[in-house]
Amino acid sequence: MRSYSRLNNVAGWVVFGLSLLVYLLTLEPTASFWDCGEFIACSYKLLVPHPPGAPTFLLLGRLVSLLSFGDVTKVAVLVNGLSALSSAFTILFLFWSITLLAKKLVLRRPGLHDDRGLEPTLGQTLLILGAGAVGALSFAFSDSFWFNAEEAEVYAMSALGTATVVWLMLKWENRADEADSDKWLVLLAYVIGLSIGVHLLNLLAIPALGFLYYFRRQPTPTWAGGIATLVISFVLVGAILVGIIPGLPTLAGNFEVFFINTLGLPFNSGIVLFMLLLVGLIWVGFRQSFVRRSQLLNTFMLCFVFILIGYSSYLIVPIRSSYHPTINENDPEDVLSFVSYLKREQYGDRPLLYGPQFNAQAVSQQDGAPRYVRQGDKYVVAEHRQELIYRDEDKMLLPRLYSNDPRHIQEYQKWVDLREGVKPTMGQNLSFLFRYQMGHMFWRYFLWNYAGRESDVQQAGTLWPTETSQGLPERVAESKARNQFFAIPLILGLLGLFYQARRDGKNALIVGLLFVFTGLAIVVYLNQPPIEPRERDYTFTGATYAFAIWIGLGVLALADLLGKVVKADTARAGVVTLLGLLAPGLLLAQGWDDHDRSGRYNSVDSARNLLNSCAPNAILFTNGDNDTFPLWYAQEVEGVRTDVRVAVLSYLNTDWYIAQMKRRSYLSQPLPISLDSSRYAQGTNDYLPYAENPSVGEVNLKDFIQLVGQNSDLLKVSYGEGGPTLLSFPSPTFYLPVDTTAVLQSGIIPADRRNQLVEKMEFTVGKRAIEKKSLVILDMLATNNWKRPIYFSSTVVPSDMLGLQPYFQLEGMAYRILPLRDPNYSPKSNDDGYVEKTLMYNKLMNQFQYRGLDNASIFYDENNLRFPANYRDKFVRLANAYLANGDTATAKKVVDKCLAVMPDKAIPYDYYTPQLVPALVAVGERPKANQIMDVMTSRAERSVAYYTTHNSALFDQEVSQALITLQSIYFAAQQVGDQQRASKAMQTLGPYLQGGR
C-alpha cells in the first residue's frame, strides 16, 4: 500500500507541475478584456466589484499582489498567476479523484468500499496512474479550462472548488466506516462556504455528492431512496442558494428595519440582535445533538457553521464599501443594500419554471420589494421595484421564448418558426431549449473541448475529423483557434463512460449526475437569451471536468480491449497509457498557439492610449466592459492618468454611481453636477419623456437644468388618471449659450479653429425619452462652463452622444466636446470629430503604444481585434486630413506607421483598411494599394460565398462585415480611378444592395 500511495502522490504532483508550467508559459502578462481588469484592480486595493462580488478571490488576489513588492506592473501577472495556480491544483485533485475511482475498477472492487488496504501490483499501479494522468491532462489542456487558467477571472478558482469537494467526498467514502470520518464532510462544507465567495457553480455538485453519501450509507439502495436523495440534495442546494446566501442577510435586514423604524433603536441594532439570535439558535442545535446523542445532527450543525465561516468572506463587501472606495459598485455599505448586491437586483431576472412568453402583454403592475435608504434616524422607502402582471393565458411552463426585445425576437426566428401575435406552443418552446440553449450553447461548447473547434469566430461550430479547410474563409481556415482533435478525447471518454457504467454503475451514476448538473442543469437555470456579447463556454467547465474522469477511465477500457493481445499487465499498462496520452498530447499541440497569451498587451495599451487621448483633468464617458475595465486597471493599479475621471454611461443611470462621481477620486475633482441628489434618486427622473410644446422651438440647456432642479411644474406631464407624473422636455432641440470671450481666454481653442467658435451650441437629442445618464451629461455641459475637458470614447454608441457630434474634436481615441462647429460635419458620414492634425499626430505617432500588434505569432481573437480596428480608423482620418491640406509627406509617414505597427500578418486587414488606399495612391504607393484591395476583395468574396451557404442566419454579422468591406473597397477604388477593381467589388456587392439577399 505504501508503494502505491507514494507513487500516486508523486504522479499527482508531476501532473500538477506539468500543468502549472504550461499555464505559466502561456499566461497573459497583464489585464485581459472583460472582467479581468476590474478583478485585478479590486484585488489589488480590495475594492467592490460588480455584484455579487467574489470576496474569496479578491482576498487571495490581494495576498498574491503583495509579492509585487511595489512594482505595480507585476500585479496583473501575479493575479493572473493565481488562476494558473488554482487550475493546476484543480488538475491535481482531478488526478487523485480519477485514481480513486480507477483503483476500484482495476482491483475489481466496484461500488463503494474501503480499498485502502489493498496494494495493486506494479502493472495495476501503472494502469491506474496512467488513467489519472490521461484524464487530468486532457482536462488541463481542454479549450475552455485552459482559457480560464490564463486570466484573472473567477472560473479557474471556481473549478478548484468543484474539484476539491469531489475529491474530499471520495476520500470520505474510503473512510466512511471510521469513527471520525465526518471530519471530511465538515471540511467539504468549509470549502463550499469559501467557494460561495468565488462563484456558485460548485453548489451544483451537491446532488452527485448526495448520491455518493446515500450509496455508501445504504448497502441496498432503492428507487424510493434514490428519489429521496435527489429531493434532499435539491433542498440542500436551495437552502444554500436561497436560504443562506441572500436569506440570512435578508432576515438581518428585516430585523434592522423593524427595530429601527418600529422600536426606535439606533442603526445596526437589528443586525446585532439578529446575530445574537442566530448564535443562540446554533447553540441550541449543538445542544440538541448532544442531548439526543445524534451524530447526524451534530455533523449537520458543524457543516452549517463551517459553511457560514467560509461564507463570512462576504463581510469584506460592506466593510470596504463603508470606506467609499473608488470602485464601489452598488454601494452595499449597509445590510439592506448588501442584500440587493447579493441578489444581483440591478441585472433583473429571467423566468425559470413559469412565466410570460415573448409576446405577452402586461395588464398591470404592482409594487414589489421596497428599497430602503437611511433618512434621519429611520429607514424610508426610496422606491418599490415594479413587477409586471400578465394574464395566466400568456404564461407557460418552462418559458424559454420569454424576451420581448425586438432583437431577441428576431434571433428566436432563427431557431423557431414564430408568428407575430401568436403564442408559442410548448413544442416551439422546447425546440428552442434543445436546439439553441442545449445544442448550440452547451453541446457545441462541449465538443469544442474534446472533438475540435472550427475557429474563434463567434458562433463557430465543431470541427469534426472529416472536415477540411477547402473553400473556407481565410479568417476561419487560418485561425489559430482552428483545433482538430479528431474526436480522440471524445471517443476515449465514451469508452470510459460505457466501461464504468458496465463495471461500476453506482459511481458511473455519480459522475453522470456531476456532468448533468454542472452542464445541462445550468442551461435550464440560466435560460440564456438568443444573443450573447461573447461565447459563454467558460460557464460549463464543470461538465468537461466530469467527462475528463471518463477520459481517464477510457484507459482502463483500452486495457480491457487489449487484454488478449498484450498479456503482461505492465506492458499492457504502458501501451494503453501511451495510446491514451495521445488525447492530451493533441489538445496541447493544437491548443498552444491560441492559448499562448504571453506577448499580449493589447487591452492595457488600449486603456493607456484612451486615457492619454484626454487633456489634463478630463472627464471621459465610456460604455461597456471592454471600454471601462481596462481603464480601471490602468488607473487603480498602474496609476495611469488618475486625473481623468472615467464615467460609465450605463452606471450613470443609478443614484449610487452619480453620488460617487460627485466625490473626489485621486487627482480628479468631483464631476460638475449641479442637481441635488434628490433629483437623481432612484425612481426620480429615471427617464424624461418628450412632451411636445409647439410654442417652444428650442430649449436653453441652462434653463432646462435649473427647472429640473426646481422640479418645476412647467416640465411636468401626467399619464392617465392616477398615472405617474414625470418631468419632460418640450422640444428635441437644445442650445447652450457660450461665453466666447471667456472660452477664448481659457486657451482651449486651437488657433486654426477660432473662426469656428459659436455663440450658442445647437443640438438635437431626438424624441426618445432622456435617460438619467443623458440628464447627467446635459447637467455637466450646462454646469461645467468649459472648465474641464469632456470627452466621449470613440467606441460609445452614437445614440448616447445626444446629437453633439458637430462639436466633436477627435483627439486620439476620444472625441472632445468644444464650442466649435465642424464645418465639414455631415450626419450621413461616419467620420465624426474635427481632426486637429498636430495634436492627433503627436498622439498616434509618438505617445501611443502598440506592443505586440506587429507580432504574427501572437493570437488575437475577435475581442482583441476590435481595438486595433479603431486605431486603423484614426490613422486613416489623420492621413486624409494631411492629404486634404496638401501635405503628402506627412500623410505618407502616417500611412507607413499604420501598416508597420499593425501589419496584415499580425492584425488582418479590416473594413477600415481600404480607406488607406487613396492615401497610398496619393503618396506614390499604388502597388501597395492594389495589393490591399486585391487581398481584401478575395477574402470578402470567399467570406460571403461561405457564410451565405453555411447557416447564414448565425453569421449575419460576418456577412455584413464582408459586405461593408466590399463597399469600402468599391469607394476606395472609385476614388483612385481604378474602375476594374471597383467593378469586381460591385459584382459581389450588387445583389445585396438590390435586396437580393
Question: For the segment 426-439, what is each residue's pLDDT rounded down to a tens digit?
Answer: 999 999 999 999 99
Q: For helices 122-140 and 569-580, what crossing angle results, to 10°?
A: 10
Q: For helices 36-45 and 55-65, what crossing angle results, to 10°?
A: 70
What is the bridge-based pairing of β-strands 814-817 and 790-793?
A: antiparallel
End-to-end CA distance of the chain: 70
Q: Which residue, among 785, 834, 758, 814, has the nearest Cα to 674 in the 3D structure? A: 785
Task: Return the half-sphere exposure (C-beta side, CA atoms, 13 A cut-off) of residue 992.
Answer: 18
Q: Please report the pLDDT score of residue 720 as a whole number.
A: 63
Name the grid cell of 149: 487558467
Task: Give CA separation, 598 vs 183, 203, 539, 589, 602, in Å.
Answer: 42, 33, 24, 16, 12
Q: What is the 3-state secondary structure (H, E, C) of 837-894?
A: HHHHHHHHHHHCCCCCCCCCCCCCCHHHHHHHHHHHHHHHHHHHHHHHCCCHHHHHHH
Q: Please report the pLDDT score of residue 728 as a whole number.
A: 94
Which amino acid would we find at residue 500? Q
Q: Please report the pLDDT score of residue 721 as a whole number.
A: 62
**Is 135 exposed, middle or buried, given 0-12, 13-18 or 19+ CB atoms closer than 10 A?**
buried
Which residues of the chain are modeled with pLDDT < 50? Answer: 1, 996-997
d(CA 917, CA 923): 10
Task: Summarize pLDDT for 519-528 with one digit per residue, the tens.
Answer: 999 999 989 8
Name the grid cell of 51: 455584484
Task: Give CA separation, 486 vs 133, 272, 443, 478, 576, in Å.
Answer: 20, 61, 17, 18, 18
Rounding to the nearest 10 degrees, give the CA dihedral for residues 186, 190, 192, 196: 160
Q: Please report the pLDDT score of residue 201 as a whole number.
A: 85
What is the bridge-based pairing of β-strands 619-622 and 354-356?
A: unpaired
d(CA 541, CA 539): 6
- Alpha helix (H) ranges present in 712-835? 740-746, 772-784
Q: DSSP characters for 37-52? A: HHHHHHHHHT-B-STT
Task: Give CA separation, 264 vs 30, 96, 253, 260, in Å.
Answer: 52, 57, 15, 5
Name the grid cell of 236: 440542500
Name the grid cell of 285: 442545535
Q: For helices 55-65 and 155-174, what crossing angle results, to 10°?
A: 110
Q: What is the 3-state secondary structure (H, E, C) of 450-518?
A: HCEECCCCCCCCECCCCCCCCCCCHHHHCCCCCEECCCHHHHHHHHHHHHHHHHCHHHHHHHHHHHHHC
d(CA 76, CA 44): 9
Task: Return the half-sphere exposure (C-beta side, CA atoms, 13 A cut-off) of residue 674.
Answer: 20
Task: Summarize pLDDT for 563-602 with one digit per residue, the tens.
Answer: 888 888 899 999 999 999 999 999 999 999 999 999 999 9
Q: Please report the pLDDT score of residue 996 as a whole number.
A: 47
Sign of the CA dihedral running 117, 118, 120, 121: positive
424 conformational bin, left if phi > 0, alpha if psi -120 to 50, beta if neither: beta
DSSP helix/strand/coil, 638: coil
Name the grid cell of 14: 508531476
Beta bridge partners of 760: 737
Q: Please report the pLDDT score of residue 44 as a whole number.
A: 96
d(CA 46, CA 154): 15
Q: Please report the pLDDT score of residue 176 as a whole number.
A: 87
Which amino acid would we find at residue 310? G
Q: Are 271 and 278 in contact (CB under 8 A)?
A: no
Reported in sequence order, the residue ranges of 311-361 that DSSP labels E, i.e. its strands, are: 354-356
d(CA 156, CA 83): 5
Which amino acid would we find at residue 869? A
This model's pTM is above 0.85 = yes
Q: Please report the pLDDT score of residue 997 as a whole number.
A: 46
Q: Are 723 and 758 in contact (CB under 8 A)?
A: no
DSSP helix/strand/coil, 639: coil
Residues 6 or more apart from 237 whose CB is under 8 A from it?
203, 204, 206, 207
Name the grid cell of 858: 501572437
Q: Please report the pLDDT score of residue 418 as a whole number.
A: 86
d(CA 835, CA 816): 11
